[in-house]
C-alpha cells in the first residue's frame, strides 16, 4: 500500500526490454547525429526525427501498476491509464504468456511491450508488459489482458480476492 491508498506493484524491466531500449536509443541518437552532420541546409531538421520518435515511445513506458478498488491503474510517464475491473473473470500468473505472439498494433519493445497482440494460447489480447518472463493474464468481461506486475503472485492474490465465489 502506498500513500495514495492504492496497492502498488513495480514494473520491472526484463532483459529483452532493457537491451532493445538501450540499443534502439543509441542507434537513434547516432542516426540523428549522422543526419545533422551529413545533411546540409534545410534538410538538417531530419536529424530531429529519431530523437522525437524515441521520445514519444518513452512517454508510453510503464512505470508501475496499482489496484484501486475495482480499477486497475497502469502508471505511464505522464499519465495513468485506468481500466475498470468490473466483470473480472479470471487472473493467473502465466510466465512467458506472450511467447509466440504476433503484434497486431503497438510497441514491440522500445521502453515497453504495449498494444494489441495475438497468440494461439490467448487469442487476441492487449498487453502492458515490461518483463516478458513474469506475466499475468487477466480476463475481464470477455477481454484478455497481459501485464507484468512485480511481485506477480501478490498481484494475483489481490485480484483473486475480488473474484466472485463459485
Enumerate residue ranges in the chain where pLDDT < 50.
3
Whether the CB-CB separation of 102 and 118 falls below 8 Å is answered with yes
pLDDT tens string 73-120: 999 999 999 999 988 999 999 999 999 999 999 998 889 999 999 999
Cα dihedral: 110, 146, 131, 48 (round 10): 10
Q: What pLDDT, on the 0 to 100 scale, is given for residue 3?
A: 45
Backbone angles phi, psi at 25, to 5 degrees: -65, -45
Q: What pLDDT, on the 0 to 100 scale, is given for residue 4?
A: 61
Nearest to 103 by CA among 116, 93, 121: 116
Residue 64 in 3-state DSSP? strand
Which residue's entry shows cell 499475468? 136
Residues in the chain: 166
What residues pair up with 72 in beta bridges, in sequence order? 67, 83
CB atoms within 10 A of CB 77: 11
* pTM of the entire predicted model: 0.85
Q: What pLDDT, on the 0 to 100 scale, is given for residue 121?
A: 96
Amino acid at each position: 500500500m502506498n500513500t495514495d491508498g492504492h496497492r502498488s506493484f513495480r514494473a520491472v524491466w526484463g532483459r529483452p526490454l532493457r537491451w532493445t531500449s538501450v540499443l534502439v536509443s543509441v542507434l537513434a541518437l547516432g542516426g540523428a547525429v549522422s543526419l545533422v552532420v551529413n545533411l546540409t541546409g534545410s534538410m538538417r531538421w531530419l536529424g530531429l526525427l529519431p530523437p522525437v520518435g524515441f521520445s514519444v515511445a518513452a512517454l508510453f513506458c510503464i512505470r508501475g501498476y496499482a489496484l484501486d478498488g475495482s480499477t486497475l491503474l497502469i502508471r505511464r510517464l505522464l499519465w495513468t491509464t485506468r481500466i475498470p475491473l468490473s466483470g473480472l473473470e479470471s487472473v493467473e500468473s502465466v510466465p512467458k504468456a506472450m511467447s509466440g505472439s504476433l503484434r497486431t498494433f503497438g510497441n514491440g519493445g522500445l521502453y515497453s511491450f504495449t498494444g494489441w497482440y495475438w497468440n494461439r494460447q490467448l487469442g487476441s489480447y492487449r498487453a502492458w508488459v515490461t518483463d516478458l518472463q513474469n506475466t499475468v493474464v487477466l480476463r475481464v468481461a470477455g477481454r484478455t489482458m497481459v501485464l507484468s506486475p512485480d511481485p506477480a503472485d501478490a498481484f494475483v492474490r489481490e485480484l483473486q480476492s475480488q473474484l466472485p465465489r463459485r
